[in-house]
Structure 1
C-alpha cells in the first residue's frame, strides 16, 4: 500500500486503487499580481509568450496540452524546487501543481501567489487514492471499508485541514455512506 496518488487510466493498468481520498484541482503559482493574467491552462495556451513550469511525469502536463498549450510553452523540471526557482527568476511565468500545494508554496514565498483554476466544464476534479499491488484484493477491500466509514468525518476533516486541504477538496470524494 502506498500514499495516495492521482488515479489515471495509465496508473490503473499497473496498480489497484482504493476509494478516492481527495479531489485536488490544479492551480498555478505565479508572480504576485499575476502579470500575464494566467488563470488556467486555456488562458496560458492563449498567450504564446507564456511559459509554464511543470514537474516531469505529472498529470499537469496532459492537462496543459489538452487545453491547447504547445510543447514550446511547457518547461519540464526534475523537481518542485527547481520549478519554483525558475518562476522566481522569471524563466517561467507560472508553475502548475495542485491548488493545495501552491497555497503552501505561496505562503512560503511572498513574491508569489497561488491561483486556483476554475472547475472544468464537466465539473470533474482529479481524484487520488492509495495504490496497491493488483493481487492484494483483500487488502484493498479492507482499506475501502475503513475509508467509507472515515472519509468526511469531523476527525478526517480536522486532520486534513492541518495540511491545508479544504472542505471542498474532501467533499468531492465523500460518499453518502460516510456523510
Structure 2
C-alpha cells in the first residue's frame, strides 16, 4: 500500500511538474514582468506605460509567443531576484547583467546588449574623476553604487577600500547623495549615468572615462532576461525568438530611442559563457 501511494504521489508530482510558466501563460495569455524603474533599461512612463530596452524586447517576444496580456511591476533592483524566486512575477525585464553569481540563483536568456561603465559627478567634475583608479588612489573619496548592482563587486575587485563604497537603494538616492556631498561619484552603466545627467543640471556624466579593466580584462556588462529555475522552457522560447530578432532592423528601430543600437549588440556571446566563472 505504501508503495502504491508513493507511486501515485510521484505520478501526481510528475503531472504537476509538466505544467510550467510557459504553458500557463500560453493558456491564459497572461504574464508578469518586473522592472527596476531604471532608464533606459526598464521603467514605467508617467502614464504607467512600460518603456525601455528590456520591456520593449520582452513585449515583442511575448506577442510572438501568443502572450498579449502583460503586467509590468516596479520593484527595487535589489529585490528583483528575490521577488522572481518568490513568484511575485515571472520574468525580470530590467536589463540585468548576466554573471556567475546571479546564474547560481536564476536562469538567464542570452544577452540582448553589451555596455560599459561610467560615473556621474557634480558639474565641472571638481575631483577630476575619470576612472575607478581615480577613486582608488584617494582614500578620502566616496563612490556610490546601487544595492544589488554589479558596481559594488567591480569597485571591490578593483581594489577600492570598502569604507569608500557607499551602497544606496536606487539611483535617485544616489543623485541626492552626490548633490549633498555624501559621495563624490555615482557608478553605473554609461547609459544610465548619461540619462541621470540629462535630468539634473547639478550633475553630469564624467567625460572622458577610462574603460574599467579587472585582472587584465576589459569589463563590459551583458544584459538579458531573468527566469525562475524550472522555467527552462520559457527561457528557451525567449532565446529562440531572440536568435532571429536581435540585430534585425526591427530590433534596432525598437531600441534606438533608448540609446541602444548596433554599437551595443552582444555579438555571439551566450548566457552559458557569461555564467561560467
* Length-normalised TM-score, structure 1: 0.88
Q: Indicate whether 1:140 and 2:235 are aligned.
A: yes
CA contact (8 A) 2:211 2:219 kept: no
Residues 69-117 of structure 1 show CA distances to partners (whole Å, capped at 9, x for unaligned) of 1112111212211110111122211001111011111011122111344
Question: 1:113 matched to which residue of 2?
Answer: 204
Q: Indicate whether 1:2 and 2:92 are aligned.
A: yes
C-alpha RMSD over aligned residues: 1.8
Distance 2:219 2:163 in 1: 27
Question: 1:155 matched to which residue of 2?
Answer: 250
- Structure 1: runs of 5 or more not aligned: none
* Length-normalised TM-score, structure 2: 0.59
For 1:59-70, what aligned pairs fall within 5 Å after superposition?
A: 59-70=150-161
- Structure 2: runs of 5 or more not aligned: 1-90, 270-277
Q: Indicate whether 1:101 and 2:196 are aligned.
A: no
CA contact (8 A) 2:211 2:218 kept: no
CA contact (8 A) 2:194 2:205 kept: yes
Q: 1 or 2, which has the higher helix percentage?
A: 2
Distance 1:167 1:29 in 2: 25
Judge which range, 100-109 or 149-158, deviates more.
149-158
For 1:1-179, what aligned pairs fall within 5 Å after superposition?
A: 1-3=91-93, 4-115=95-206, 116-120=209-213, 121-168=216-263, 170-171=264-265, 173-175=266-268
SS class of match (2:145) = strand
The structure with higher relative contact order (CA 8 Å, sep 6+) is 1
CA contact (8 A) 1:104 1:164 kept: no
Asked which structure has the greater CA Rg, the reply is: 2
Aligned residues: 174
CA contact (8 A) 2:144 2:186 kept: yes
Distance 2:174 2:160 in 1: 18
Shift of 1:129: 1.1
Shift of 1:164: 2.2
Distance 2:236 2:151 in 1: 30
CA contact (8 A) 1:151 1:174 kept: no
